[in-house]
Amino acid sequence: METGNQTHALEFLLLGFSSSSETQLILFGLFLSIYVVTFTGNLLIILAVSLDSHFHTPMYFFLSNLSFADICFTSTTIPKMLLNIQTQNKVITYKGCLSQIFFFIVFGCLDNLLLTVMAYDRFVAICHPLSYTVIMNHWLCGLLALGSWCLSIMGSLIETLPILRLSFCTNMEIPHYFCDLPELLKLACSDIFINNLVVYFATGLLAMIPFNGILFSYCKIISSILRISSVGGKYKAFSTCGSHLSIVCLFYGTGLGVYLSSAMISSSRASLLASAMYTMITPMLNPFVYSLRNRDMKGALMRLFSRVVSLSDGVVAGLS
């Protein structure tokens, strides 16, 4: 094979989890179930927030954006993996690989930034309750959501575009179920110093700064709650941020698990399982965390379900 730039005619092989046909069938059913539950759960959150006027508040506005980001995040990787299992074809094109990397980073960063914005919303609600409606107005909420989208897209472009300068001329096997940027860079036969520098810079900017913002917000929140004299007041204050704090712990806990597993364990199997927790399980659990810990959300979902059942009964009665 030539050692020149072959990027315009490249195809990569996504090795995935297993080559056994029996295991592949089990994995297909498992991942399809995870995707259906994730898609349905987050879609129900979006519909409940959109259709119920009680949820037209900043917290639920950002929650619906987070649910949409989770749907897109899982849709970036799982459908392609299911298609590869179904067709017994592990090939992904060069353009498909770059597109997958781009959107994976976009929606991963968006999750991170939206959690930061939601932490700021909880900080204002608890630490400045009298000024909450003035500070968290519709204009600021829209600006924060738009800014999160713009920063995510810009950050993804910064990390993805330098790949175009690389040559891939040796091994084309990616030991993953999707095009993971670090794994792709390992396959390059040209210098990747600039790529690694850009990745470290962008990750530090779009991951560490939001994470520190969340920590700062919750330090202020906890400090304010501890100054509340009544036990009931403390419980009410904690309950307003309990769901968000649970999702933050889930998101950063699994993300940190992926980082530590890749740094401490050389096994590709362990890295695959850790990545599955981060990319599949966390988006699937987010709707459950918010619905189980939030009485209002459970009520809205029940009303939405009742409305759907009534509508379907009316359609059936009309057809009969």
Note the pLDDT tens digit of each residue in 58-110: 999 999 999 999 999 999 999 999 999 888 888 999 999 999 999 999 999 99
Q: Please check whether residue 82 is in contact with residue 35, taking contact to mean a CB–CB distance below 8 angstroms.
A: yes
Of 79, 52, 78, nearest to 63 (Cα)?
Answer: 52
> Please, which contacts does 205-210 make with residues 24 or more away whose CB atoms are closer than 8 Å?
205/155, 206/109, 206/112, 206/113, 206/151, 206/152, 206/155, 207/109, 207/112, 210/112, 210/113, 210/115, 210/116
CATH class of residue range 9-289: mainly alpha
Q: What's the confidence (pLDDT) of residue 221?
A: 92
The residue type found at 7 is T
pLDDT range class, residue 203, cuts 50, 70, 90: confident
pLDDT at 270 over 70: no
Rounded to an integer, what distance in angstroms lies between the CA atom of residue 224 and that of residue 244?
Answer: 17
Q: What is the pLDDT of residue 313?
A: 54
Show the tokens assigned to 256.
Answer: 């940190």
The partner residues of 13 in beta bridges, in order of sequence, read 91, 173
**Eight-class DSSP state of 7:** G
Report pLDDT for 271.
Answer: 66
Half-sphere exposure of residue 50: CA atoms within 13 angstroms, side-chain side: 10
Residues β-bridged to residue 75:
none
What 3-state DSSP class applies to 282? helix
Look at residue 11 and give its three-state secondary structure.
strand
Q: Is the pLDDT of residue 35 over 70?
A: yes
- Say whether pLDDT at 151 is over 90: yes
Q: Please, is 207 exposed, middle or buried when counting C-beta atoms within 10 Å of its C-beta (0-12, 13-18, 19+)?
A: middle
- Of the given ranges (153-162, 176-185, 309-318), which has the lowest mean pLDDT? 309-318
Distance CA 148, CA 133 (A): 21
- The winner for highest mean pLDDT among 21-30, 47-56, 117-126, 164-173 is 117-126
Is the Cα torsion angle 251, 117, 34, 174 positive or negative in sign?
A: negative
What are the domain boundaries of the chain? 9-289
What pLDDT does residue 1 have? 38
Strand ranges inside the chain, DSSP E: 11-14, 91-93, 173-174
Residue 310: per-residue pLDDT: 66
Give the best-scoring range by mean pLDDT among 2-6, 30-34, 186-190, 278-282: 30-34
Among the listed residues 280, 224, 301, 243, the one whose alpha carbon sits nearest the alpha carbon of residue 115: 243
For the stretch 207-264, pLDDT in tens is 889 999 999 999 999 998 888 888 777 777 777 787 788 888 888 877 776 666 555 6
CA distance 91 to 174: 10
- Whole-number average pLDDT of the chain: 84
Percent of the chain with pLDDT over 70: 83
- From residue 130, alpha-carbon distances to 116, 121, 126, 127, 229 in Å are 22, 13, 9, 9, 18
3-state SS class at 12: strand
Quote the radius of gyration of the chain (alpha carbons, Å): 22
What is the biggest distance separating any 2 CA atoms in the chain, rounded to whole angstroms?
Answer: 74
